Chain A
Amino acid sequence: MALAVGQPLGRDGNLNRLIQVCEDEDVALLEIKNLHVEVEDKKILNGLTLTIEKGQVAAIMGPNGSGKSTLAYVLAGKDNYHVTEGDVLLDGKSILGMAPDERAAKGVFLAFQYPVEVPGVATMTFLRTALNAQRKTRGEPEFSTPEFMKRVRETSKLLGIDQEMLRRAVNVGFSGGEKKRNEILQMAVLEPRLAVLDETDSGLDIDALKIVSEGVNRLRSPERSMIVITHYQRLLEYIVPDVVHVMAKGRVVKSGGKELALELEATGYAQFADEAA
């Protein structure tokens, strides 16, 4: 296992988690078993089964309405997404009974498709409150303000993020590109074990897409798995996945290597409409 790949890897609290991860080597990081989910009495996920290995970057592709974003929200624990059947296991243990913040402390991170504005709260403050809340839940010591600020400054420099953004209120008045970059910054600071990127490419021009993808690639490491949800193959040119899963009508209908994405680009999603039915 090459430990030197991920930049933020050596950082104290992470080490313990890494050791734990190594001990449980035989268990997949995430196992989704026959998941059925309803939203407002409408069935969205329909027996979805999916396994994400440690350190794996998995792309999830699929047409509109196939349930990609629902999957992201269910993993994060959003209200009103009712699991009627099946289970979601993180390190072999079910997380369905956990509150969103408990899941976050266990290392689940969701990069939102539409990041939410939090008026009056500086990004720096938001990040510190979040990180210390997670550390507290995990029983780790909280960071002092100077210690924390140093970390965030270093991380933002690494990701090419303007320091000025840290002083601005979270996502308020941010451009589409800035919002997505802010999500990646948060991911870098919070160091999740499972990052779910929900249509991170939507609304980005090609330059912004490159910047965000570079950020994501820097965060790839053997102890961090990623689920990259996207509609288009374009993003996967920059974030090259280990595996590609195709979703249709609330389940995974095809899995393959990165070449599957290219194939889809050529043939479109129409072929899966029948298979899923």
Chain B
Amino acid sequence: MKQEEFEKVQKRLGNVSRRDFMKLCSAVAATMALPGTVVPKIAHAITSPTRPPVIWLHGSECTGCSMSLLRSEHPTLEKLIFDLISLDFHETVSAGAGHQAEEALHKAVEENFGKFILVIEGAIPMKDGGVFCRIAGKNFVQTVKEIGAKAGAVIAIGSCASWGGVAAMDPNPTGCVGVQEVLPEKKVISLPGCPPNPYNLLSTIIHYLTFNRMPVLDDENRPKFAYGRLIHEHCERRPHFDNGRFARSFGDEGHRQGYCLYYLGCKGPVTYANCSTMQFGDAGSGCWPVGIGHPCFGCAEKGVGFNIPQFTTSPVIHTTPAAAHAPITLERGEGVSVKSAALMAGAAGVAIGAGAVFTAKLSGKEDKHENKEA
């Protein structure tokens, strides 16, 4: 993107520098493992005046996903999010309140009918007609059905919206479910995690803006770029697991040494997410649960997070423990020994001796013959 082009939209982007803007586009492309050539495309899509807006609704949840987005420490990120992806309506960060806010929501929905991206945060209570979560005098399940039908794409952010999460924990008194169950006719992209990495959301939305389609999804509708691998596979403590070095209790020698947290109940081996490569919540390098010495609790995996107790050891799927481990000290070879030197000297001696005898027997003139049997 050229400087002149960028100047037209710079003000709307909160006066970020062109350099910072292009860096964000590159980071987004890298998160999705897209080639560098799509970075300009991303830049154009983000700055296009006709890009579809985002409408954000809240259900039964803690607003943690929004918090994680707001607290992104990447410079100017919150600015970029609100101005970049055209977030037309967000309940918790809305300046207006009451009827005013409700009006803004319906105006945004009608204006962008069939085009907008609906992001839903939080589970949807179903028991007793869904009376446990009411906004503007309407049950939340009703709101989701009405607005969801008008949306161009629906994204469920967080574990609650994905399958119920903490709100649907046993015994699930309010009958909470994920968005997909309420909108069975739509393909709801789910970004589980408690909270999920804000870059995963940003990348998914920008992928949609750039290519007009959603990224490749797995069978649970999670984007493969973020949820294609187990946390365990790329964990920074994986070598300790492979070599059998484990922390057995909090504060023990192994724990202080930074060994594998598997026996403290780490759910990395059963949880699909990119925490081990993207870190968690954009909180900075090394600041994800396993990095700071706490076992993963599997928040992003249905049936693991809020389901298997924290300190219960998880099964290891895709187990590939090393049969033998690499030695810590590397042997750097053996030099000359008495035996090998003696053998080589002996062989050389025999060769030189035989050569000398043969040479001595050779005549200095042509046509004279030795008669040696061989």
Partners in one complex: no
